[in-house]
Structure 1
Amino acid sequence: MTEFVLVAGAWLGSSAWDEVVPGLRAAGHGAHPVTLSGVGEKQGMPVGRQSHVADIVDEVERLGLRDVVLVGHSYAGIPVGQAAERIGERLARVVFVDACVPADGESFVSTWWQGPAALESAIDGNGGFWSPPTAPEFEGQGLTDEQTARIVSAATPHPGASLSDPAVLSGALGGLPATYVKCLLDGPEPTDDVVGLLAGECWELVTMETGHWPMYSRPDELVSILTGAAGAS
């Protein structure tokens, strides 16, 4: 039995996986959605250096999990990629769902596609938090109105301290067994750093004809991809 540890991206807590968890459990696997400090039901919790990495590692160790597939969506790919190093032999595979990947010494903010200053300004202007998107910003992502409403209602401001936290990696990320899930409505190609990792022997690419939020838009298909990734471990 594979133990899936599921971590959603910015603004979202464990409820993001509500339509994925039942499918994984029905397939005979463990499914453990994690809410990171400072978001969702953990709003107000302090966030400092490596807090989100610790959230993930602590959950694996608290539950005594083995044969672990860590799943990181969007921003959460950064703490998940670091946590994958920390859990050692407990790790079976990492799945990055349309996610950022960590680079030693770099943060989510430092690699922001519009430039660090743009995101820093947005965070500073909102009291140190990144505001969740509004409903119109989800257009073109393959979501129904109901799915968009669920995301918007669940989203909470994201603590800027985690977004500016530099990643700490002791080894080469490309050496980890990994699956990268590219959601094609959010862009037809992975970013250059992911392309480089996919060129190695340990990473595989899977594509989905949906947008950046497949746990909402295509949960059953995502379950199939995750269980397939577990089988590849």
Structure 2
Amino acid sequence: MVDFVLVAGARLGAWAWDDVVPRLRAAGHGVHPLTLSGLADKRGVPAGQRTHVQDIVDEVERHDLRDVVLVGHSYSGIPVGQAAQRIGDRLAHVVFVDSSVPADGEAFVSAWPDGGAQMRALIAENGGFWPVAPAAHFDGHGLTDEQIARITAGSTPHPGATLTEPAVLPRPLDELPATYILCLLAGAEPSGEVVELLAGGHWRLVEMDTGHWPMFSQPRELARIFLEAAAD
């Protein structure tokens, strides 16, 4: 048995994993979907990048979890990658679901066009938050109208400081035992950073023929990939 800690991407909370959690528990594993500070039911809690890293570490330590599979989707790959290095021998595997990956000294917005200047301006204009996305943002990702409605209804503005504060990595990220899930409808090729990490020998690439939110569009297949990662 392993313990999965599931962290969804920007604007989402633990609820985003509702269709995945029962499949993992049915296989006999512990499952801990996590809402990061400032989001969903933790809305209003001040949060920066280091807060989100600590949220994940605290979840592992509070439950004294061992053989942990950390899962980070989209934005959350950045705090998950950092937390994975902090939990030491409790870690069994990391799964990055079509996610950003942390680089020491770099922020989430660093990879955006113009170095994130427009994103920083948008955050400033919205009281320090990245506003929720309109329904049209989810078109072309293999989602039904009902699934899009679930995502938009459950989304909350994302704390801007978590996107602009730099990551801190004491060791190379490619030393982690990791699986990277590439969702092909969101982009047919992994980023240059991910290609470099895959070349290190400790990471493997898995492709899914769906969009950026597979926990909604293909929860059964996503759970299967998680279980395979846990068995590595």
Deviation at 1:150, TM superposition (A): 0.4
Distance 1:36 1:222, change over 3 A: same
Alignment pair present for 1:226 and 2:204: no
Deviation at 1:48, TM superposition (A): 3.4
Matches within 5 A, 1:80-99: 80-99=80-99
Q: Deviations over 1:47-105 (max 9, x none)?
A: 13500000000000000100000000000000000000000000000000000000000
Distance 1:152 1:51 in 2: 24
How many percent identity over aligned positions?
64
Distance 1:109 1:54, change over 3 A: same
Matches within 5 A, 1:60-139: 60-113=60-113, 115-139=115-139
The residue type equivalent to 1:127 in the other structure is G
Matches within 5 A, 1:1-233: 1-48=1-48, 50-113=50-113, 115-232=115-232
Give 5+ residue unaligned stretches, structure 2: none
- TM-score w.r.t. the length of structure 1 is 0.98
Distance 1:159 1:25 in 2: 31
The residue type equivalent to 2:84 in the other structure is A
Deviation at 1:46, TM superposition (A): 1.1
Deviation at 1:115, TM superposition (A): 3.5
Distance 1:211 1:162 in 2: 24
Number of aligned residues: 232
The residue type equivalent to 2:213 in the other structure is W
Contact 2:48–2:159 (Cα < 8 Å) also in 1: no
Contact 2:129–2:160 (Cα < 8 Å) also in 1: yes
Distance 1:117 1:2 in 2: 41
Distance 2:224 2:113 in 1: 30
Contact 2:49–2:79 (Cα < 8 Å) also in 1: no
Contact 2:78–2:108 (Cα < 8 Å) also in 1: yes
Q: Deviations over 1:101-123 (max 9, x none)?
A: 00000010122246411111111
Secondary structure, counterpart of 2:165 in structure 1? coil
**Which of the two has greater helix per residue?**
2
Q: Deviations over 1:138-170 (max 9, x none)?
A: 100000000000000110000001111110110
Distance 1:46 1:137 in 2: 26
- TM-score w.r.t. the length of structure 2 is 0.98
Q: Deviations over 1:21-52 (max 9, x none)?
A: 00000011111000000011100001135000
Deviation at 1:135, TM superposition (A): 0.6
Distance 1:41 1:9, change over 3 A: same
Distance 1:140 1:114 in 2: 26
Give 5+ residue unaligned stretches, structure 1: none
Distance 1:109 1:48 in 2: 13
Deviation at 1:130, TM superposition (A): 0.2
